[in-house]
Amino acid sequence: MTEPNPIVTAIVWKLDEDLREAWEERAAVLEFDAGLSRELAECLALLDLIRMRPADVLQRLN
C-alpha cells in the first residue's frame, strides 16, 4: 500500500466536513468502481472537487 500524497493530505485537512465528505465519496468511487489505486483516486477526487466547487475549495485554502 502506498502512502497518501502529502499535497493532497495537506489540502484535504483544510476542507470543511461537507467538502471532505464529498472528496472521500468521490475517491471511494474512483478506487472501487474504476479500479484505481487509492493514491491516484484521492488525487483525482481532489481535482474533481476543485472542478465542481472551485470557490468553496479555494476559500478554505486561504
Q: Residue 35: give the domain boundaries.
A: 6-61
How many domains would you assign to the chain? 1
Residue 35 lies in a domain: yes
pTM of the model as a whole:
0.92
- Show pLDDT as tens, one digit a residue, over the chain (62 residues): 678 899 999 999 999 999 999 999 999 999 999 999 999 999 999 999 999 999 999 999 98
Residue 45 lies in a domain: yes
Q: Which amino acid is at 15?
A: L
Residue 52 lies in a domain: yes
Residue 16 lies in a domain: yes
* Cα distance between residue 50 and residue 40, in whole Å: 15
Question: 48 phi and psi, to 5 degrees?
Answer: -65, -40
Residue 13 lies in a domain: yes
Residue 32 lies in a domain: yes
Residue 1 lies in a domain: no
How far apart, in Å, are the Cα atoms of 56 and each of 8, 24, 31?
16, 16, 24
